[in-house]
């Protein structure tokens, strides 16, 4: 490999799925200021909205998460076009 072209901060990072609190460890260069303790060891923490444990494609379950009322806004906006 060529010298000087690869990231220096390649380390084990904890990724946390915020929708179901699942945590998994993998190597990454993602920058973060937060940490999380897993099995007595502290790791840098990256928070995610969705992961393989909560995505409908991987779980086979369709789950609707409406945090900002977007569906209601859409329905009221386009209700005038309904026949």
pLDDT in tens, 15-41: 998 888 889 999 999 989 999 999 999
What residues contact 47, with CB distance under 8 A and at least 6 apart? 16, 18, 34
* C-alpha span between 75 and 54 (Å, rounded): 26
**Are residues 47 and 60 in contact, defined by beta-carbon separation less than 8 angstroms?**
no
pLDDT in tens, 42-59: 999 999 888 877 766 666
pLDDT of 3 strictly over 80: yes
pLDDT of 11 strictly over 70: yes
pTM for this entry = 0.62
CA angle 11, 14, 19 (to 5 degrees): 150
């Amino acid at each position: 490999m060529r010298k000087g072209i690869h990231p220096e901060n390649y380390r084990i990072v904890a990724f946390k799925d915020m929708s179901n609190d699942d945590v998994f460890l993998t190597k990454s260069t993602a920058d973060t200021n937060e940490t999380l303790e897993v099995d007595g060891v502290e790791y840098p923490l990256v928070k995610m909205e969705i992961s393989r444990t909560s995505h409908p494609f991987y779980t086979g379950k369709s789950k609707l998460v409406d945090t900002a009322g977007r569906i209601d806004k859409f329905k009221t906006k386009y209700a005038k076009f309904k026949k």
